[in-house]
């Protein structure tokens, strides 16, 4: 992506263009998870071998991945959120270790395992968003704390699981807690002091959401005054969810930040009539002020827990023969969206898993009153026939056709490589009362593969102009690992059983696999050191799909329905916490 010194953190923009390093959690500001390295390619990847490993000393789910800055690798862990600085010149020797002291009472209010999706770098500091919502700035060379600030209140259910993003001279963080009625927001903190610069909520009055009723648009039209309040009953918006625990992207030329908001609270839709704006929404905000330029709500009045937090992948491509600045998003709801990121124009909305049945399509007729809305199938819409009714065979399940595990994009093939879930559910909503700090869910779920099928995941290649699957590789379990595309025409991903896999970027043909010590829910990373290309990935089963193993749960409906669906996983892997680094033989 083009960049200029007047935009963004000048140092970080320049560093992210050096493929030897990996300085932003998603690889670059466009969240493409693409490496221009090509020493490892489709011809020789079959020779890949483990070069070295590192134990993090922590069990439970290891999401995210390391940062590599020069000769130092920064590795993070789930709770208690240890950060290690490893010396790549001396066999990964530990330079420093930071282990925060946190109240363990935060663990029970982390809905879907004690995960953390990574650290960020900027201005000589490493930024960690701790489980207890503390944002801490560490000296990158020594690990000394430069400043720290509290972003939320864990006693009311707010937690921190997301990777921060450094933009210009600020650090962005979101918040988790939709299952506890936490009202979501994104906050920008001053990179030098930790002082809050702005905060934009997902719902509430315009002064809270940083929406201009005349200038902020949705599908090309001004949203109007207090557009969020008009879609909630009374004060429900104050405990309305819409949390922001996913990924951030940034376009330096437009100076816009892109991210998604999550599910409205409670999971029982009968208790919150209306569209529940602006949950389930793609946001484009001005980086300096936080003001919303445009919004697009993908799943109005969410009845399925289809959080909209998945990454926004930015690309400059031809669309209908014209050069466009695009945003591609693979939503939990099973639709792959392509939008013009300058103005939020909806260009494509198509299913990226054939099993999706909760909606027939998204209305793409610009003259229609329902333009941009999904056409919902009533029998698969929990709450449509009331509470305490079990709505059966809904696809996808609540964890979506894809959850937070980020996809990759290759500018060489112009394809998107998407780790997906192929899972359906039964969903029974029930009445629930809000109590601060207590679960505010209101639904019982069970999960299983689509009827007549046994695979619970696919790894797919997607064409974002046509809205079509180019190829699809089935997997026994959900693919809960972040993908990596490389200039060597190889795409990497991990499996819940623990395999690192390499496939041909053009055909999807499997070229290599190696079983690591535990299931992989981490994101694959590439870097170069001393002229040699390396592939690194964290293994450590957990996350929502692996919560049964991670937390020792056995009741099928526990883990918000995931325990029963993934019960067989315990036959293939066990808990762990290991970084495995691969390279070609000397």
In a 10 Å sphere around its CB, with 0-12 CB exposed, 13-18 middle and 19+ buried, how is residue 507 labelled?
middle
Q: Give CA–CA dist 403/332, Å, rounded.
A: 6
Q: Give CA–CA dist 33/44, Å, rounded.
A: 21
Which of 310, 340, 176 shows the shortest CA–CA distance to 248? 310
305 counts as catalytic:
yes
Q: Give CA–CA dist 129/114, Å, rounded.
A: 13
Q: Give CA–CA dist 227/213, Å, rounded.
A: 8
Q: Give CA–CA dist 47/52, Å, rounded.
A: 15
Beta strands in 27-66 (DSSP E): 34-35, 49-55
In a 10 Å sphere around its CB, with 0-12 CB exposed, 13-18 middle and 19+ buried, how is residue 190 labelled?
middle
**51: its two tokens:** 């070069």
Which of 572, 351, 356, 547 shows the shortest CA–CA distance to 450? 356
- Strands 345-351, 424-429: pairing is unpaired
Whether the Cβ atoms of residue 433 and residue 469 lie closer than 8 Å to each other: no
Identify the three-state secondary structure at position 550.
helix
Q: Give CA–CA dist 176/38, Å, rounded.
A: 37
Q: Give CA–CA dist 66/8, Å, rounded.
A: 22
Identify the three-state secondary structure at position 2.
coil
Tell me the C-alpha to C-alpha distance, in Å, between residue 537 and each of 95, 168, 525, 579.
Answer: 20, 28, 6, 6
Identify the three-state secondary structure at position 72.
strand
How wide is the angle at C-alpha 64 spanned by C-alphas 86 and 254, nearest 5°?
Answer: 105
Taking the chain, what is the end-to-end CA distance rounded to the nearest angstrom? 34
Q: Give CA–CA dist 83/56, Å, rounded.
A: 9
Q: Which of 132, 275, 305, 403 is catalytic?
A: 305
φ, ψ of residue 21 in degrees (nearest 5): -105, 170
Tell me the C-alpha to C-alpha distance, in Å, between residue 583 and each of 148, 161, 426.
Answer: 37, 30, 44
Active site residues: 305
């Amino acid at each position: 992506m083009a960049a200029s010194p007047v935009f963004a953190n000048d140092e970080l923009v320049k560093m992210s263009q050096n493929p030897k390093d990996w300085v932003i959690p998603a690889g670059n500001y466009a969240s493409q998870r693409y490496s221009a390295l090509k020493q490892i390619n489709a011809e020789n990847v079959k020779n890949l071998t483990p070069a070295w490993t590192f134990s993090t000393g922590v069990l439970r789910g290891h999401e995210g991945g390391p940062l590599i800055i020069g000769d130092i690798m920064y590795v993070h862990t789930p709770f208690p959120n240890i950060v290690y600085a490893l010396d790549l010149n001396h066999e990964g020797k530990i330079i420093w270790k930071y282990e925060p002291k946190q109240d363990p009472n935060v663990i029970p209010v982390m809905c879907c395992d004690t995960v953390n999706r990574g650290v960020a770098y900027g201005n000589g500091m490493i930024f960690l968003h701790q489980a207890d919502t503390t944002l801490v700035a560490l000296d990158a060379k020594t690990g000394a704390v430069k400043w720290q600030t509290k972003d939320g209140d864990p006693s009311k259910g707010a937690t921190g699981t997301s990777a921060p993003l450094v933009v210009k001279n600020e650090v962005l963080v979101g918040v988790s807690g939709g299952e506890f009625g936490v009202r979501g927001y994104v906050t920008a903190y001053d990179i030098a002091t930790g002082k809050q610069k702005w905060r934009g909520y997902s719902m509430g009055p315009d002064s809270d959401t940083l929406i201009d009723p005349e200038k902020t648009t949705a599908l090309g039209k001004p949203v109007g005054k207090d557009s969020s309040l008009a879609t909630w009953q009374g004060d429900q918006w104050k405990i309305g969810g819409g949390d922001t625990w996913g990924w951030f992207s940034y376009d330096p030329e437009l100076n816009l930040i892109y991210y998604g908001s999550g599910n409205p609270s409670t999971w029982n839709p009968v208790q919150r009539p209306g569209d529940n704006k602006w949950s389930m929404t793609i946001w484009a905000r001005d980086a300096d002020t936080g003001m919303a330029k445009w919004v697009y709500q993908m799943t109005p009045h969410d009845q399925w827990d289809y959080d909209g937090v998945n990454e926004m992948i930015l690309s400059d491509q031809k669309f209908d023969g014209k050069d466009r600045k695009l945003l591609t998003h693979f939503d939990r709801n099973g639709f792959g969206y392509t939008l013009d990121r300058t103005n939020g124009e909806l260009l494509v909305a198509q299913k990226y898993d054939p099993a999706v049945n909760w909606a027939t399509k998204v209305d793409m007729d610009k003259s229609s009153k329902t333009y941009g809305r999904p056409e919902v199938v009533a029998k698969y819409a929990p709450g449509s026939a009331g509470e305490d009714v079990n709505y059966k065979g809904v696809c996808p399940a609540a964890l979506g056709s894809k959850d937070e595990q980020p996809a990759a994009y290759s500018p060489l093939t112009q394809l998107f490589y998407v780790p997906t879930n192929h899972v359906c559910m039964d969903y029974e909503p029930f009445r629930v009362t809000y109590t601060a700090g207590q679960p505010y869910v209101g639904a019982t779920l069970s999960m299983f593969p689509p009827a007549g099928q046994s695979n619970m995941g696919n790894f797919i290649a997607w064409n974002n102009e046509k809205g079509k699957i180019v190829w699809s590789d089935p997997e026994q379990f959900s693919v809960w690992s972040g993908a990596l595309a490389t200039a060597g025409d190889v795409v990497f991903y991990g499996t819940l059983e623990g395999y690192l896999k390499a496939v041909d970027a053009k055909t999807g043909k499997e070229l290599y696999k190696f079983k690591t010590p535990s299931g992989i829910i981490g994101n694959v990373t590439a870097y170069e050191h001393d002229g040699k290309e390396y592939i690194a990935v964290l293994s450590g089963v957990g996350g929502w799909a692996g919560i049964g193993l991670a937390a020792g749960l056995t009741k099928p409906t526990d883990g918000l329905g995931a325990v029963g669906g993934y019960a067989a996983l315990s036959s293939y892997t066990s808990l762990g916490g290991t970084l495995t680094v691969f390279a070609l033989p000397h």
